[in-house]
Structures are given as C-alpha cells and as structure tokens.
Amino acid sequence: MNTIELYKELPKTNCADCGQKTCMAFSIAVVKGSAALHTCPHLDKHTLDKLSVSVVKLDVTEAMFDKLKEETGKLDIKKASSATGAIVTGDGIIVKCLGRDYTVKYDGSVESDGVVSLWIKILLLIYIKTADASELANDWVSFDRLRMGTVKIGAFKKECEIPLTDMFIRDYTVATASITSLGAIEVAGQPSTAAWKLCLLPKIPILILYWQGDEEFPPEVKVLFDSTADRYLDVESLVFLLRELTITLGECSS
C-alpha cells in the first residue's frame, strides 16, 4: 500500500490527534514504519482491520535486517566501497541514498543524522551485498527491461510511477522543487515535457520523464534506469527504493 492509497482511507481532517501535523504526514509515517495505524483515533475498527492487512509486518523485517547485518559484518566493507561508489571513513563507508548520507559500519550497523528506518537499513545492506562494480552503461531502459522486471512491473507502477504522476498533477511547481531538493538535474533533449536525472544511490541513477498530458492523453510519469541497475539491486529492492523516493518527495512537499 502506498502513501496515496492510505491517505485516501484517512479522515483527512488534519486534526493532529495522532501526533503528526497532517493526515498526509501520518500516511507517510505509517508506510515508513515509524507510526502505527491505531495512533489515529478516528479510524473505526472495520477500517483499521482492513488497513492492517496491508501494513508490512516489522518483525519479519527485523529478522531480515539481523541476517543481513551479520552477513555484511563478514564482508570486506572497504572493498565494497569501490563497487558501490561509497566513501571510506574511519567508521566504515558513507553511502548517499535519496540525498542523505548514511554510514554503514564494519559490523553492518547503519547510522545517519536522525532516525534511520529499518527498510532503508535493509536496502543499503542489500545494495552493498549485491553491487558487482559494473560501470554505468549510460543506456536508459524501462523497469520491465531489467532482469525479472516483468514480474514486478505492476508493483513498480503502483508504488512509483502512479504516485509520482499524482504528485505532478497535484502541484507541478512543488513536485519539481521536491525533486530538485534531492539533487535532481533537469535534462534536455528527452521526448517528454520535462525530464530530470537523479541519483538514488551512487550507482543507481534514474531518469524521471514527465508528460504534461493533453486532450487525448492524461499526464504521466515514466522512470527509466541505467541498464546496469539490476547488478546493484534486485527488482524487488528497486521497487522499494522508488517507493522510498515517493515517500521522501511527499515529505519534502508536505
């Protein structure tokens, strides 16, 4: 379930009784795993039960993180830094993800300024484990052209391209400002109305294409990847990474 889908189910009164400023902020916090659904006191039991089945079970991800952390602790992290485009420090390596610096320590723990979600920790460790040091091909491909991409294309559209399209439809100026705040650079010469290149991770650049739409076609966002992206993250992790992008952009614009 993405933030927009959850938001649609909320009362949308922005009463702040849940401790978040707005229902959108609450929706983002729940999808990120930093707030629980029941902290909105205005959801009836039926709605709560219905939404709860869509919320990821954190105990499963805790176990996943512990396993990855143990495996990462056995890796040569300094060697991994050159494969991942990370920077070596005294503590471990620094990986920039969605515009924020994270330190992955030699024991596999992950730190940053402020709270780090469990999902981001897992994603960074998968990235370090998977990276095969391929040079970027500078060849943009759609998600379904990546290895196993056709299997996850539905989830990719639902978690990424549709929420991004909604974001642009809601407010183009805010959407572009949010993307730019993460370090995106506008790119000329694309077939779309506008396009931006953005590095989600050092070796995972994406191209965001936005079509404004007309009488015949609705507005649309397409996201392209360097053809080497699946050598750095499996497609399931890429869906998660793009889902985090939509959440982060939602936070930038809320």
Nearer to ligand SF4, 25 or 123 (CB): 25
Are the C-beta atoms of 202 and 96 separated by less than 8 Å?
A: yes
Nearer to ligand SF4, 26 or 143 (CB): 26
Closest separation in Å from C-beta 31 to ligand SF4: 13
Environment class of 106 (CB within 10 Å of its CB; exposed 0-12, middle 13-18, buried 19+) = middle
Hey, what are 24's tokens? 């959108």
Neighbours of 212 (CB within 10 A): 14
Nearer to ligand SF4, 14 or 180 (CB): 14
Closest separation in Å from C-beta 50 to ligand SF4: 15
Question: Which neighbouring-strand residues pair with 185?
Answer: 197
Instruction: Please list every residue from 36 through 95 that binds ligand SF4, using CB under 6 A.
Output: 40, 42
Closest separation in Å from C-beta 247 to ligand SF4: 16
- The Cα–Cα gap between 26 and 41 comes to 12
- The strand pair at 92-97 and 204-211 is best described as unpaired
Closest separation in Å from C-beta 45 to ligand SF4: 15
- The Cα–Cα gap between 231 and 219 comes to 31
Nearer to ligand SF4, 15 or 56 (CB): 15
254 binds ligand SF4 (CB under 6 A): no
Closest separation in Å from C-beta 37 to ligand SF4: 9
Number of residues that bind ligand SF4 (CB under 6 A): 14
Going from the C-alpha of 52 to that of each of 2, 119, 155, the distances in angstroms are 13, 18, 19
Closest separation in Å from C-beta 15 to ligand SF4: 4
- Collect contacts of 54-62 with beta carbons under 8 A, ≥24 apart: 54/1, 54/6, 55/1, 55/30, 58/33, 58/118, 61/33, 61/118, 61/119, 61/122, 62/118
Closest separation in Å from C-beta 41 to ligand SF4: 6
Site mask for ligand SF4 (CB under 6 A), range 4-43, x = bound: ------xx-xxxxxx-x-xx--x-------------x-x-
Query: Pick from 125, 117, 169, 152: which is nearest to 225 by CA?
Result: 152
Nearer to ligand SF4, 30 or 239 (CB): 30
Nearer to ligand SF4, 20 or 178 (CB): 20
Provide the binding-site residues for ligand SF4, judged by CB under 6 A. 10-11, 13-18, 20, 22-23, 26, 40, 42
